[in-house]
């Protein structure tokens, strides 16, 4: 499928929202830099209450921040950015990730670039990439619960001494039973996360695809599988204590549900990046490709 990236821009910037990495007061120096840069432009900065409590300033509720902001800022690492994208999904606001973590594939603006890049935003010198999300539906007899995953949904054994069997079906037809430590279902963006550690493929983040990667399978014939974007896969687990973990942030027990279905969500997360951001350069730097 041909990849088309529409050159979207933010038409008006009067209010910006910010949330920082939880329980890390060292982020305050970067927060002040951001606030000063926006104040020079006459822009109001809304601070999520959890971040305001950490930095000792006035805050607003997360929902009020998202509703009123023209774009949102995540200050921290990839985990902070992923959480913000998931929580703010239904507000459809672009998100800028400012890097203050260890290994970042998503946040590409570093501390010494904050002021120059904020200036670039006001003159339209940036781009917005749309990243696919997973829609995860948990089914019980009486109801269903829908969740969003930015990177991945992971089926994992609950006990270190045991294994789990995960049955996967498409359109009601069983096509595999994964027996081993678990299974990762990831987006192309999530291919550089747990999927990478488990030996799954690296997939260009704007590719339209769904990736299934077994974790330590108990069979040499089990291999990662890349599916078209319009596929929906249903899962059942024989071991009811098997866990399903969403982006490493939320955990559920499969025993509480009859089945789980996963597909690509109808719309994606919007990430603000530098115009010159190069995905392959990011891979080279983060994964140390070509180092002697």
Catalytically annotated residues: 78
Strand residues in 171-284 grouped as ranges (E): 173-186, 209-217, 225-228, 233-237, 243-246, 250-253, 259-264, 269-273
For the sheet containing 44-47, what is the strand order? 44-47, 15-20, 71-76, 95-99, 269-273, 127-131
**Could you give the CA distance from residue 154 to residue 262 in angstroms, rounded to a whole number?**
11
Q: Which of 286, 140, 141, 171 is nearest to 234 (CA)?
A: 171
Q: Which of 18, 252, 229 is nearest to 147 (CA)?
A: 252
**169 forms bridges with which residues in the sheet?**
174, 234
Maximum C-alpha span of the chain = 61
Phi, psi of 96 (to 5 degrees): -105, 125
């Amino acid at each position: 499928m041909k990849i088309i990236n529409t050159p979207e821009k933010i038409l008006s910037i009067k209010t910006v929202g910010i949330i920082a990495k939880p329980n890390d007061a060292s982020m305050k120096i970067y927060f002040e830099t951001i606030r000063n840069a926006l104040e020079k432009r006459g822009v109001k900065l809304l601070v999520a209450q959890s971040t305001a409590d950490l930095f000792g300033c006035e805050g607003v509720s997360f929902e009020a921040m998202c509703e009123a902001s023209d774009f949102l800022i995540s200050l921290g690492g990839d985990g902070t950015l992923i959480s913000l994208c998931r929580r703010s999904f239904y507000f459809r606001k672009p998100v800028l990730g400012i890097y203050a973590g260890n290994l970042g594939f998503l946040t590409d603006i570093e501390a010494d670039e904050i002021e120059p890049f904020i200036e670039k935003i006001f003159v339209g010198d940036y781009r917005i990439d749309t990243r696919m999300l997973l829609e995860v539906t948990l089914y019980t007899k009486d109801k269903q619960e829908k969740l969003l995953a930015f990177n991945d949904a992971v089926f994992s054994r609950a006990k270190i001494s045991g294994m789990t069997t995960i049955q996967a079906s498409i359109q009601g037809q069983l096509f595999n039973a994964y027996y081993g430590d678990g299974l990762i279902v990831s987006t192309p963006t999530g291919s550089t996360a747990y999927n990478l550690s488990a030996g799954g493929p690296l997939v260009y983040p704007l590719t339209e695809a769904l990736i299934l990667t077994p974790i330590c399978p108990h069979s040499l014939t089990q291999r990662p599988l890349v599916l078209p974007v319009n596929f929906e896969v249903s899962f059942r687990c024989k071991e009811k204590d098997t866990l399903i973990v969403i982006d490493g942030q939320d955990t559920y027990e499969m025993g509480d549900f009859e089945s789980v279905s996963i597909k690509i969500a109808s719309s994606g997360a919007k990430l603000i990046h530098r115009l010159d951001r190069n995905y392959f350069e990011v891979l080279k730097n983060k994964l140390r490709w070509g180092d002697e």
